Structure 1
Amino acid sequence: MIELQLNEIYTNLGIIINLILAIIIPIIVLKVINWSITRVISENSITSTSLMTLNKILRYIVVLIIFLAILDVLGIDLHSLIVSLGLVSLAVTLAAKDTLSNVISGIIIILEKRFVIGDMIEIDGYKGQVKKIGFKSVELFYKKKYMVIPNVLFTTKPFINHTRNGYYAIYFDVKILNRYNFDEKITQIEKILDNSPLILKNPHYVLLIKNITTSGIDVTVKVYIKDPADDTKVTAELIKKIKREIVLEDMY
């Protein structure tokens, strides 16, 4: 009788220990992985948003592992359970297909560092500064407009990272009428750009002849700035200064 009770105690104790291990071991593994990810992020300038996304994915995986381990410790036949839930799993998989695609694409974005927070990107007709790299989507902001782009687009369609090299180009056009001396006006524009604190000195600005008409010459002014969010302000300030000091009629 006593022997049976001891066996029962040992059996129950073994189950309890296995349950504890089934919970603790995955959590410890998660902590180690999180520590490793944090080191990689600090060494490679990956954003904290990326870390949060990876942590969410890892937490879901750990919860699933713990759940399956507990069922196994309790003696539940996982194979039979999986078979019985086959149709439900198929339905859930189909329903979550887009979500899964976006999550996988998000991981690719993070690991390949195709862009980071603050970059100005353009994809599928949408352009904006990256504000958040989320679990399923990327949030862009440009000229008071917020755009939410599914992550999967960045692995299925080409996109442009306008600030990949650490600067952003902005353009505007000026028209130099025939009654003005062209070289003189160009020199005046160059002087304003040389003295402007709003634009980068390297790369250097560029003046390009865009079009020659019967009334004058259209010139495209291309300058570089550090922060894409300043593009409207910088463009407006330069146009205002050039228009005020050089008196050019058409600028756009």
Structure 2
Amino acid sequence: MNWTFTINPQQLWETYVLPWGTQIVLALLIFIVGRILARAASHGATKALERARLDPILVNFISTLLNTTLVLLVIVFALSQLGLDTTSLVALVGAAGLAVGLALKDSLSHFAAGVMLIVFRPFKLGDYVEVGGVAGSVDKITIFSTRLKTPDNKVVTVPNGNVFGNTMVNYSEEATRRIDMVVGISYGSDLLKAKSILEELVKDHDKVLKDPAYKIAVSELADSSVNFIVRPWVKAEDYWDVRFQLTESIKLRFDAEGIEIPFPQMDVHWHKDVA
């Protein structure tokens, strides 16, 4: 038996090439134009948010999320133009997303914490904070982690789950900070003279604020010392400079004035039994 196949070029063109070619071209146009529009919309949203003076991290997150969402919609529309069942595709992507989510649940928890940090913004870039047991200046906040730069220039990356799930201390949130110092003198030193010197050193320091007023008082009669609390207020950026300068000035001035700063010691008395 002989089989004979006859191909009609015109019929092939009209039945297959022209319809499928048209659909492919339209799908490509939808994808290309959609990508351009998504990029333009993301760029416009970024400019609008920047004009609103929102945090740069929040601006970047919103613009990235908007662009990703629009691109996904464009892909769905392009595939539907090819005649594909996008409902099944969406269901397949959802099932795959669920499987990936179960496998990466720890990473997703860091992602969720990152979103919460970006939305609620308990700190911003440049703030000196203590999070997850680490202290440093906030250098970068990403979806999965927060990067801190310590005073000795180490870079520490803390997972966002550890940041948002623990106590956060922001030392830069307020414009002023109070320095809490404890200064001890020996019981044999002149208490009123020591207090007068402390008040003079604090009052004369050019970076100590007048308002709120500083506080100097006897706080404790300890085992081997009389302890003063010294609590001046300073600008947040001057905290460490003033603390170090006052510590040095107090030691030098007490030495010059003959006021003893005691150190831990033990007196041992030996009694010899007389036969």
Within the candidate set 237, 249, 252, 2:261 is matched to 249
The reply to whether residue 142 of structure 1 matches residue 150 of structure 2 is yes
Instruction: Return 5+ residue gaps in structure 2 as ranges.
Output: 1-9, 264-275
Shift of 1:150: 1.8
Aligned position for 1:122: 130
Q: Any idea what SS the aligned residue of 1:192 has?
A: helix
Q: Which moved more, 1:182-191 or 1:235-244?
A: 182-191
Task: Give the structure 2 partner of residue 109 of structure 1.
Answer: 117
Q: Which residue of 1 aligns with 2:78?
A: 70
Q: Secondary structure at the match of 2:180?
A: strand
Q: What TM-score, normalized to structure 1?
A: 0.76
Q: Deviations over 1:150-170 (max 9, x none)?
A: 223344333222332223343
Rg (Cα) greater in structure: 2
| Rounded Cα–Cα distance in structure 2 between residues aligned with 1:137 and 1:68 | 31
Structure with the bigger RCO (C-alpha within 8 Å, sep 6+) is 1
Q: Which sits farther off after the overlay, 58-67 or 134-143?
A: 58-67
1:165 correspondence with 2:174: yes
| Residue number in structure 2 paired with 1:236 | 244
Identify if the C-alpha distance between structure 1 residues 210 and 123 changes in structure 2 by more than 3 Å, giving closer, same or farther. Answer: farther
Q: Cα gap change, 1:50/1:85 in structure 2, threshold over 3 Å: closer, same or farther?
A: closer
2:99 counterpart residue number: 91
TM score, norm. by length of structure 2: 0.71
- Aligned ranges for residues 172-183 of structure 1 at < 5 Å? 172-183=181-192
The aligned runs of 1:172-251 (5 Å cut-off) are: 172-227=181-236, 231-247=239-255, 249=261
- The percent identity for this pair of structures is 23
Aligned CA distance change for structure 1 residues 50 and 68 (closer, same or farther; 3 Å): same
Q: 1:85 to 1:123 in 2, by over 3 A?
A: closer
Q: Distance in 2 between matches of 1:24 and 1:96?
A: 34
Aligned partner of 2:267 in structure 1 is none
Flag the 1:23–1:200 CA change in 2: closer, same or farther, 3 A. farther
Cα offsets for 1:133-164 (capped at 9, x unmatched): 22211122334243322223344333222332
Paired residues of 2:30 and 2:78 also in contact (CA < 8 A): no
The aligned length equals: 248
Query: Counterparts in 2 of 1:11-22, with a 5 A limit?
Result: 12-13=21-22, 15-22=24-31
Aligned partners of 2:178 and 2:234 also within 8 Å: yes
Distance 1:8 1:204, change over 3 A: farther
Structure 1 or 2: more strand by fraction: 1
Q: Is the 8 A contact 1:132 1:140 kept in 2?
A: yes
Unaligned 5+ segments in structure 1 are none
Partner of 2:60 in structure 1?
52
Contact 2:187 2:225 in 1 (8 A): yes
Q: How far did 1:225 drift? A: 4.0
Determine if contact 2:127/2:138 at 8 Å carries over to the other structure.
yes
Q: For the residues of structure 1 that align with 2:45 and 2:90, how far apart are their CA atoms?
A: 33
Give me the CA root mean square deviation.
Answer: 3.5
Secondary structure (helix, strand or coil) at the match of 1:163 reads coil
